[in-house]
Structure 1
């Protein structure tokens, strides 16, 4: 795989050359990315979809072709797109039991909540969406990220640098927690008790 773009927390872009070895790398990359997004429950389906889409590029577009895989979480769906530089759009056809070709799209249509094709300025995209209901831990992470993004925007903090996002954001997270403690104190609350209760909730969630 020759490229990676993580411009959004829940969007991943992988550029690769259509070779059999690259399919294995893609599956590994998908598995790791979905684990990071707390979507391990949909890994098997996603790996299978990605394998079929990449195999179709190798077979019908050509080995060595440059292609791009896009993973994106939107609501309760995982969207998988595979872009290549060929304008020929695949068509879902009837497949007989003895046929060896044409099964990939049927598999895609059977597994996906929705799927389709799209012509682009440089070729085409074949996409599908899988149900991806996140667990409670993932929901908490997303809520925290949304709150932290708003806090950073209000304080005028610069955007995080690529490759340093977690450590870079910890300083802002610390400031946000400190502000919350000031807020509790200003209203007659107990900041130490708040921290203790938050720690207890956290430990109960990850146990």
Structure 2
């Protein structure tokens, strides 16, 4: 994998890669190294997660071995990640309605990015997302939360195979997961209201410190 960096008029890095699992790992590390050189290591965890999903989407839906390019660009307080490939087939713009087709990649874009989208290009298409430059702890917590919700969402879907098959969004999954946790605390003789109060206090303390 080779790459080139352009620092004017804004920080920008272009990293060509081949759509293959081993190359995706190298691409993730290259993205983290680039952010570290720019002094934005706090955004590396979230960026690595999103770069992995964007690149893996090319492997799954364009084909292993396909040529693609990652573009990393700083735009004010936002970091933009773009993956370009040569397919002109666009993923569904509604990530919440295409879990079985698109996998978790679009869910992560919708959950972690402040904005994302797809666009046709002269050579194919680009899938892009933008994240705010924020503290690393918040990024890691968001990543863990999405993974937990998707796992919970999958178990709920399996339990409803005989139902209508309608999609359960991440927001509804969050409500269901919290409710199940409260049932668990009550079954162990704990006070669900106390657990909620303590969680709220911890969240507010960490948000104030961010």
TM range, normalised to the smaller chain? Answer: 0.5 to 0.7
- 2:24 aligns with 23
- 1:47 aligns with 48
Whole-Å Cα distance in 1 between the matches of residues 56 and 98 of structure 2?
20
Whole-Å Cα distance in 2 between the matches of residues 117 and 55 of structure 1?
16
Report deviation, 1:96: 8.9
Distance 1:133 1:65, change over 3 A: same
**What do you get for the CA RMSD once the two structures are aligned?**
2.0
- 2:105 aligns with 104
Distance 1:6 1:106, change over 3 A: same
Structure 1: gaps spanning 5 or more residues: 135-207
Report deviation, 1:109: 0.9
Structure 2: gaps spanning 5 or more residues: 136-210
Matches within 5 A, 1:108-127: 108-127=109-128
- 1:4 aligns with 3
Deviations 1:104-142 (A, max 9, x none): 1011111001111010000000000010169xxxxxxxx
Deviations 1:25-70 (A, max 9, x none): 0111011100011111111110000000111100100000000000
* Structure 1 residue runs of 4 or more that deviate by more than 4 Å after TM superposition: none
Instruction: Tell me the TM-score normalized by structure 2.
Output: 0.59
Q: Give the total of aligned pairs.
A: 132
